[in-house]
Structure 1
């Protein structure tokens, strides 16, 4: 019985001392959950000694997951004294807030120019519309006309009339004799100061030519030279027959030489020209 009473007394005394411990635990837990208060370090006894060291501020930063870039940590604003802070100027009316990242800034309207005193800007509505095409007064400038000299037309010399064919009286006065068949004519032409050339023609075709002057160009053809009857002749053989192609007569007086030759004719005209040449004789 005394043992039971002692145990009961101890139990009662233990319950009486327990409440103070519970109250201390609750107070400690409340103090730990409260934010830390600023602790003012005690002043150092010696001012000239090493400055007071402040406890290092522990910054805890949560690392981002692997593969993502860490977010930029905000930097604390620097603490400056009132004397070091620059004087704040009133914000300008042109200050523009920056747009969010990725958007282009809006166009800033330009302020209208303030006209100077005493000058009134003209109203825009009264100004004439500008024209892109500048009209210029048409100027008509007469181009100077070049005065060209009149072309000088060379006056051709008067045409020499074609010599007329000799009549019977003129043929009889020639320095040579000739048997001229009907239908043929003799036309004279000048060959020099003292020389003349005569053409024996049938129409426009020349069959025979006669030179009367101081010096001829005998012989013209290549052939056999034959001298007979006071003249020298050049004879050629054509088709088994002999033809006298040219003749030369020499005289003691002017004209000193008479040269007769057949032109380039063929066939019957060649035979006719050869017969007329054979009929010529110096007077």
Structure 2
């Protein structure tokens, strides 16, 4: 492009590159010291003989700026471009991927999924166990009555040796007495306002101020229980044989027959 532009400029200015032909018989010294001979003028035909290249439209120079054409055979140096004005807004520089590679997918910051918070282990609290209610101490077993206490009972009794009478509360204004041999009870005696006479089924026999229940066992008749009624307290004295068999039953029946109200 620079060489074509230079040739066009020379054609326009009327200069030719064809050297003048020497005329035969010319004097070299005259040619050198004087004006060119009369037949050496450049004719328009000679100018036309030069092939005129097609002029190339050159861009109009920017007003205020003068471009100097470089010498023939040299590449014009790239003119420095004015640096763009610094913008106050920050620019984001994006690095382009190499040719042939697709741009990497932009990684967006991922919001971490909410993680379930494990329940914190709670230290077990010491459980205070209320002390179990202490059962009331069992009342001591009543002691057997002595001879004076037996004499003060509202009834009289013939007690064989080795047997005892042990009292026990039966309720308000009532008492129960056990005729025992060791831990075995032979006869029960109730003294109170109202008894549960009769307990056994049998024949009721009234004699000597008492009512007795008599049962027949083979050839024998046994008085199983007795009821005494009094005007003073205790109103009733009820005597019955405990669940014993054999000789203990006969002994209990004889002791019951010996009881009488006072």
Task: Report the TM-score range of the alignment, normalised by the length of the smaller protein.
Answer: 0.5 to 0.7
Residue 146 of structure 1: how far off its partner (Å): 2.2
> What does 1:209-220 correspond to in 2, within 5 Å?
209-220=188-199
- Classify 1:113/1:190 alpha carbon distance in 2 versus 1 (closer, same or farther; 3 Å): farther
Residue 267 of structure 1: how far off its partner (Å): 0.3
Q: Show structure 2 runs of 5+ residues with no match.
A: 1-99, 105-119
What is the aligned residue count? 152
| Counterpart Cα distance in 1 of 2:213 and 2:246 | 19
Residue 157 of structure 1: how far off its partner (Å): 1.2
| Counterpart Cα distance in 2 of 1:211 and 1:264 | 16
Instruction: Please provide the CA RMSD for this pair.
Output: 2.4
1:97-130 deviations in Å (ceiling 9; x for gaps): xxxxxxxxxxxxxxx97999xxxxxxxxxxxxxx
| Counterpart Cα distance in 1 of 2:160 and 2:213 | 23
Q: Which residue of 2 aligns with 1:150?
A: 129
> What does 1:167-206 correspond to in 2, within 5 Å?
167-206=146-185
Q: Which residue of 1 aligns with 2:225?
A: 246
Counterpart selection for 2:248 from 252, 255, 269 = 269
Structure 1: which 4+ aligned runs deviate by more than 3 Å? 112-116
1:148-201 deviations in Å (ceiling 9; x for gaps): 122331021121111010011100000000000001000000001100000000
Which moves more between the two structures, 156-165 or 257-266? Answer: 156-165
| Counterpart Cα distance in 2 of 1:163 and 1:185 | 12
- Classify 1:268/1:113 alpha carbon distance in 2 versus 1 (closer, same or farther; 3 Å): farther
Counterpart selection for 1:224 from 199, 203, 206 = 203
Q: Show structure 1 runs of 5+ residues with no match.
A: 1-111, 117-140
SS in 2 for 1:278: helix
- TM-score, length of structure 2 as denominator length: 0.54
